[in-house]
């Protein structure tokens, strides 16, 4: 099969016009483990680590529904030297907390278990994660690596390439943590603009997949509000009430001045026709789509 004949899920998604809004996975805790060598297709699960240590980390992460990602700096593939790990979280008040450590032996990773059970330190700059997991999905490497390079040149201390974050067909995918903001459909140029705006407190709807502390219909509602009223900071809008009847949701959103004080957003969901959603997946699958049908100013 020639390169021209290969199937690329991100190309197919763009041809179909797949919607980004409402596609961010739910969660507010992140575990990052620096691993500079090759990444197994299943990421952390596939690492050849000391079994007891690996089991402890996996169980502790599962208990708090943390996503475990392998990370590396762009272009640095040497497996030698001390590596870093981090636990990032957004607490119930919306505050960002981080805990960083180092490891050179597998057993050092047990510290992650303790970090997952502690609140962590307030503050610290955000982490920008670029999915470049080619062993998981071809598009993640083909589209993710150029984005990783562009962002690393601009913000070398903030940016890490990472393993699978979900939504291969939306590559290149970028996650800002612990903000829990997913962006998709990026290239080198748009990624720099998007992250620059994000760091300045202006989240735009154009490449937004969603906020990970919200569920898909709520994510779609916030994206629609941003599209209508313009970019806003991560916590300038809050979802305060959600009701559902069948495949329709009514979502109440409040805003900080000078944004609208209250908005009522109607969201309708439907399933797409079955299609191939990943490069490696041979089966046909349908996806949920969340469409905003109205926005009322309360």
DSSP H or E stretch at residue 60: helix 51-63
Distance of CA 208 to the CA centre of its chain: 10
Which DSSP category does 275 fall into? B
The pLDDT > 70 percentage for the chain reads: 97
pLDDT digit string, tens, across residues 82-93: 899 999 998 777
Nearest residue to 55 (alpha-carbon basis) of 123, 128, 106, 131:
106
Question: What pLDDT, on the 0 to 100 scale, is given for residue 241?
Answer: 97
Query: Is residue 122 pLDDT above 90, yes or no?
Result: no
Query: Is residue 243 pLDDT above 50, yes or no?
Result: yes
pLDDT band at 4 (very low <50, low <70, confident <90, very high): very low
**Helices within the chain (DSSP H only):** 9-16, 51-63, 111-116, 138-154, 188-199, 216-229
pLDDT digit string, tens, across residues 143-186: 999 999 999 999 999 999 999 999 999 999 999 999 999 999 99
Query: Is residue 77 pLDDT above 80, yes or no?
Result: no
pLDDT digit string, tens, across residues 16-71: 999 999 999 998 899 999 998 889 999 999 999 999 999 999 999 999 999 999 99
3-state secondary structure of 57: helix
CA angle 71/185/229 to nearest 5° reads 115
């Amino acid at each position: 099969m020639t390169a021209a004949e290969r199937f690329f899920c991100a190309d197919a998604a763009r041809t179909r016009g797949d919607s980004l809004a409402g596609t961010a996975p739910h969660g507010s805790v992140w575990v990052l483990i620096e691993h500079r060598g090759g990444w197994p297709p299943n990421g952390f699960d596939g690492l050849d680590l000391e079994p007891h240590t690996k089991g402890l980390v996996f169980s502790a992460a599962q208990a708090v529904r943390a996503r475990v990602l392998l990370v590396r700096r762009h272009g640095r593939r040497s497996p030698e030297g001390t590596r870093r790990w981090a636990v990032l979280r957004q607490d119930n008040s919306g505050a960002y907390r981080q805990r960083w450590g180092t490891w050179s032996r597998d057993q050092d990773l047990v510290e992650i278990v303790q970090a997952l059970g502690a609140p962590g330190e307030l503050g610290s700059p955000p982490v920008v994660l670029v999915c470049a997991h080619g062993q998981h999905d071809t598009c993640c490497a083909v589209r993710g690596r150029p984005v990783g390079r562009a962002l690393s040149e601009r913000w070398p201390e903030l940016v890490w390439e990472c393993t699978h974050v979900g939504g291969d067909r939306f590559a290149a995918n970028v996650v800002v943590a612990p903000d829990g903001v997913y962006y998709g459909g990026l290239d080198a140029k748009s990624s720099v603009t998007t992250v620059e705006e994000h760091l300045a407190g202006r989240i735009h709807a154009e490449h937004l997949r969603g906020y990970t502390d919200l569920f898909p219909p709520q994510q779609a509602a916030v994206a629609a509000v941003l599209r209508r009223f313009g970019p806003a900071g991560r916590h300038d809008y809050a979802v305060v009430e959600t009701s559902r009847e069948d495949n329709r949701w009514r979502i109440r959103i409040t805003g900080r001045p000078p944004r609208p004080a209250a908005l009522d957003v109607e969201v309708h969901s439907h399933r797409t026709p079955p299609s191939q959603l990943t490069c490696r997946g041979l089966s046909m699958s349908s996806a949920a789509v969340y469409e905003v049908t109205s926005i009322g100013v309360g």
